[in-house]
Amino acid sequence: MKMSNTQQRRVILEELRKLDTHPTADELYDLVRQRLPQISLGTVYRNLELLSATSQILKLQLTGTQKRFDGNTALHYHRRCPCCGRVSDLKGEEMAEVERVLNELLRKTGCRSYTLELCGVCPACRKQQSSSRENPENINNPKSHQENKNDGIERQ
């Protein structure tokens, strides 16, 4: 599929590739509007779908969440935090063995692909939970959790 590289699409791709937080379309729209104030949310959605269909980005359709997008198309895995919804990359040798086993399973079963979603509490939420246990007055204080909860948008 040949597609023209519009300025809007180029900016969307540039902004997405600056992030390692796997934003939703709405979150990315907020960032792109800082550079292109006239862009519409529909334009961002359409371009994300096109970029995904042409394998320039990954569309993450994780269990029970909004679609998220990843500018890193290299093979890697994700962890979704059930507390804050943050999606983070899993890196390192611990995934090499999992990948080896899954590839062997693909070969044996004749399947072509797999989707692996790991779900676990992220370090920031673990820290918050630990802090709440140490300071019981924070347990029922929603502001305490909100102050430490990141919206998932961090620039590299």
**pTM assigned to the model:** 0.72
Three-state DSSP class for residue 92:
coil
Instruction: At 93, give phi and psi (nearest 5°).
Output: -65, -25
The two tokens of residue 129 are: 């939970």
Domains and CATH numbers, the chain: 7-148 (1.10.10.10)
Is the Cα torsion angle 31, 36, 38, 40 positive or negative in sign?
A: negative
Q: Go through the chain and tell me how many residues it has.
A: 156
Residue 30: which residues within 8 A CB-CB, separation 6 or more?
A: 153
Distance CA 57, CA 79 (A): 18
> DSSP character for 83?
T
pLDDT digits (tens, 9 = 90+) for 52-92: 999 999 999 877 678 999 999 988 889 899 999 889 888 77
Q: Summarize the confidence of residues 141-151 as an average pLDDT.
A: 42
pLDDT digits (tens, 9 = 90+) for 5-49: 699 999 999 999 999 899 999 999 999 999 999 999 999 999 999
β-bridge pairing 117-119 and 77-80 = parallel
